[in-house]
Amino acid sequence: MTFTVETKKPAEYPCEALLVGVYEGEKGAGGLSKEAQTLDKILGGTLSRALSAEEFKGKPGTATAFHTQGRIPAQAAVVVGLGKKDKLTLPVLRMASAAGMAKARALGAKKVAVALMDEAVRGAGAGDKAQVIVEGGLLGTYRFLKYKSEKDKKAIEEVVLLLTKPAERGKAQAGTAKGEIIGEAVNFARDLVSEPAASLTPTLLAEEARKVAREAGLKIKVMEKAEVEKLGMGAFLGVSLGSDQPPKFIVLSYEPERGGARRKIALVGKGLTFDSGGISLKPAGGMETMKCDMAGSAAVLATMRALGKLKPRVSVLGLVAATENMPSGRATKPGDVVRAMNGKTIEVVNTDAEGRLTLADALCYAVKEKVDEAIDIATLTGACVVALGKVQMGVFANDEGLRRRVMDAAKRAGEGAWHLPLNEDLKEAMKSDIADMKNTGKAGEAGATMGGLFLQEFVGSTPWVHLDIAGPAFIDRETPLSPKGATGVGVRTFLYYLMGI
Ligand code: BES
Ligand code: ZN
Ligand code: ZN
């Protein structure tokens, strides 16, 4: 899918599908965007009549197609909902583009033109608009077809953003380039998460990380079991004991050119390439979705790959403690005690609460690297899914400023995020009779917070944010921006955050 910018009139542009906007809440032609009104006139009122008959409401994320009967060179007009006119935001525009592009793809369009650049978005320029339109196009048309025998015949090949103001050309092109990098990064994360556990073992995940480093010009170090042992990462290693697959500790690093780094930030991704629960085995129903338990690490790898191209002025460490969680004669048993890199001992009362054990050591590593900020991202708790559903990640933090900055980035990125508490009183439940702490609290009580409180024990005084993506990482119903399955959540939040520094 290629994206270009052209200064041409939509009504004169030859393509198979032309995206135009409609606003919500106004009846008939009144709700048409400027471009849609022009087209409507040429089409003899077809659009406005059809829209009122079809009761297309113009809601964000909806789209409907009309054949143009040869009255304009575009074969179909794909009308996309832009929501309330005075409330058009970049996230809405992203979603509208995604819905429209998905519709165009379903029509079998190879060449798509977009007439949305003239819509007014408060505080946004041509670059921002082009960026989200391109992001939406890539996200809304993504499919994971690697294991399907029938290949994808319906793929949009060419997208042209139509401009009426030639002066906006440069900015629109720059925005398009950014949007492509971001959209492709999210789709790369989706590819990794969709990959079955057998073909994405810790070893293969480390191989992917090496590829990322090569492509993006990053430094990489992959530590084997012996080295991890030497570092004292007993919590991480304890999780890996039951698996025949060797664990890998992946360290990717991005440094801006000519120095000039403003801060050093660690992104820590949970990298459980499969979570069976271990000896505390999960029930069979739905266990196949636990290949998604490396979605945090996918978000980190995808972010690192994009950083090499976006080149923000910040140093970034990408850390992944990759392993499987499997039952076997060698597996950690409930009641076993492990020692994390910072010396803390943990009684593992439930081997299914393994993510926090791997993250504990990865966070200790980040602290040792003297980062200014650490952000971890993890499919950590079912409790977070119960609390927030599949549309928001849970956000926990020990630093209010960092939390606000990350949540602001999530908002701009169009990713749902909700602040949840780290109530210290609840720590009581993680007291162990024989070790410094247990790896779980009381079942059914504040499970998501408990995960966060556990991790907090390993970050010291480093400003830290924990993103629990157990809900939004892998979804069972498609949304305008994502098909069923892997969503690539977190990548956009990370990239928007790091680009804003
Ligand atoms: N990987 C799971 C969490 C999860 C649940 C991810 C649903 C994606 C969707 C995690 O390792 C886990 O099993 N957590 C336990 C913790 C409990 C034993 C304290 C859980 O949530 O049940
Ligand atoms: Zn688990
Ligand atoms: Zn897990």
% the chain with pLDDT above 90: 91
Q: Are residues 399 and 351 in the same domain?
A: yes
Would you state the pLDDT for residue 151? 80
Would you state the pLDDT for residue 459? 98
Q: Would residue 488 count as lying in a domain?
A: yes
Q: With bands split at pLDDT 50, 70 and 90, how would you rate the model's confidence at 241? A: very high
Number of domains in the chain: 2
| Residue 477, number of CB atoms within 10 A of its CB | 8
CA dist 417 and 256 (Å) reads 28
Q: Are residues 318 and 380 in the same domain?
A: yes
Ligand 1 atom with the shortest distance to the CA of 277: 13
- Candidates 282, 313, 390, 411; catalytic one: 282
Res. 150: pLDDT tops 90: no
CA of 349 to the centre of ligand 3 (A): 15
Q: Are 362 and 300 within 8 A, CB to CB?
A: no
Would you state the pLDDT for residue 262? 86
> Does 470 sit in the ligand 1 pocket, CB within 6 Å?
yes
Which three-class secondary structure state does DSSP give residue 173?
helix
Q: Would residue 101 count as lying in a domain?
A: yes
User: Atom 18 of ligand 1 has which residue's CA nearest to it?
Assistant: 353
CA dist 89 and 414 (Å) reads 10
Q: With bands split at pLDDT 50, 70 and 90, how would you rate the model's confidence at 351? A: very high
Q: Are residues 126 and 246 in the same domain?
A: no
**Probe target for ligand 1 pocket from 239, 289, 352, with the most ligand atoms within 8 Å of CB:** 352
CA dist 229 and 62 (Å) reads 52
> Does 119 sit in the ligand 1 pocket, CB within 6 Å?
no
Ligand nearest to the CA of 447: 1
Tokens of 483: 């098909």
pLDDT in tens, 79-110: 999 999 999 999 999 999 999 999 999 999 99
Ligand nearest to the CA of 289: 1
Helix segments in 43-125, DSSP class H: 46-54, 90-106
Q: Are residues 27 and 142 in the same domain?
A: yes
- Of the three residues 108, 130, 162, the one that is the final residue of a domain is 162
Would you state the pLDDT for residue 358? 99
> Does 359 sit in the ligand 1 pocket, CB within 6 Å?
no
CA dist 335 and 348 (Å) reads 5
Q: Are residues 146 and 192 in the same domain?
A: no
> Does 354 sit in the ligand 1 pocket, CB within 6 Å?
yes
CA of 173 to the centre of ligand 3 (A): 41
CA dist 179 and 134 (Å) reads 5
Ligand nearest to the CA of 471: 1
Contacts of 17 (CB under 8 A, 6+ apart): 65, 74, 75, 76, 77, 78, 103, 104, 107, 109, 111, 112, 113
How far is C-alpha 398 from the geometric centre of its chain's CA atoms? 23
CA of 229 to the centre of ligand 2 (A): 22
% the chain with pLDDT above 70: 99
Ligand 1 atom with the shortest distance to the CA of 354: 11
Q: Would residue 168 count as lying in a domain?
A: no
Res. 378: pLDDT tops 70: yes
Q: Are residues 235 and 355 in the same domain?
A: yes
User: Atom 3 of ligand 1 has which residue's CA nearest to it?
Assistant: 381
Res. 306: pLDDT tops 60: yes
Q: Would residue 177 count as lying in a domain?
A: no
CA of 310 to the centre of ligand 1 (A): 34
CA dist 214 and 220 (Å) reads 9
Q: Would residue 262 count as lying in a domain?
A: yes
Q: Would residue 208 count as lying in a domain?
A: yes
> Does 81 sit in the ligand 1 pocket, CB within 6 Å?
no
Residue 282 bears catalytic tag? yes
Q: Are residues 146 and 204 in the same domain?
A: no
Ligand 1 atom with the shortest distance to the CA of 275: 1
Q: Are residues 124 and 217 in the same domain?
A: no
Would you state the pLDDT for residue 30? 55
Radius of gyration of the chain (CA): 24
CA of 128 to the centre of ligand 1 (A): 37
- Of the three residues 127, 162, 197, the one that is the final residue of a domain is 162
> Does 324 sit in the ligand 1 pocket, CB within 6 Å?
no
Q: Are 75 and 64 within 8 A, CB to CB?
A: no
CA dist 63 and 133 (Å) reads 14
CA dist 83 and 71 (Å) reads 28
CA of 447 to the centre of ligand 2 (A): 12
CATH number at residue 89: 3.40.220.10
> Does 180 sit in the ligand 1 pocket, CB within 6 Å?
no
User: How far apart, in Å, do the first and last CA atoms of the chain sit?
Assistant: 30
For residue 424, what is the DSSP state? G
> Does 415 sit in the ligand 1 pocket, CB within 6 Å?
no
Q: What is the mean pLDDT of residues 353-360?
A: 99
pLDDT in tens, 196-213: 999 999 999 999 999 999
- Candidates 85, 248, 305, 356; catalytic one: 356
Res. 28: pLDDT tops 60: no
Res. 29: pLDDT tops 60: no
pLDDT in tens, 41-69: 998 998 888 788 777 889 999 999 999 99
> Does 440 sit in the ligand 1 pocket, CB within 6 Å?
yes
Q: Would residue 167 count as lying in a domain?
A: no
Q: Would residue 171 count as lying in a domain?
A: no
Q: Are residues 139 and 270 in the same domain?
A: no
Q: Are strands 373-378 and 464-468 parallel, antiparallel or unpaired?
A: parallel
Q: Are 305 and 211 within 8 A, CB to CB?
A: no
Q: Are residues 95 and 217 in the same domain?
A: no
CA of 380 to the centre of ligand 1 (A): 6
Q: Is the dihedral of CA 181, 184, 188, 193 positive or negative?
A: positive
Q: What is the mean pLDDT of residues 392-413?
A: 98
Q: Are residues 214 and 119 in the same domain?
A: no
Q: Are residues 59 and 205 in the same domain?
A: no
Output the pTM of the full model. Answer: 0.98
> Does 293 sit in the ligand 1 pocket, CB within 6 Å?
yes
CA dist 384 and 355 (Å) reads 14
Q: Are 253 and 218 within 8 A, CB to CB?
A: yes
CA dist 436 and 454 (Å) reads 11
333: part of which helix (H) or strand (E)? none
CATH number at residue 295: 3.40.630.10
SS3 of 188-232: HHHHHHHCCHHHCCHHHHHHHHHHHHHHHCCEEEEECHHHHHHCC
Q: What residues are paired with 286 via a beta bridge? A: none
- Of the three residues 105, 130, 162, the one that is the final residue of a domain is 162
Domain residues for the domain of 10 are 2-162
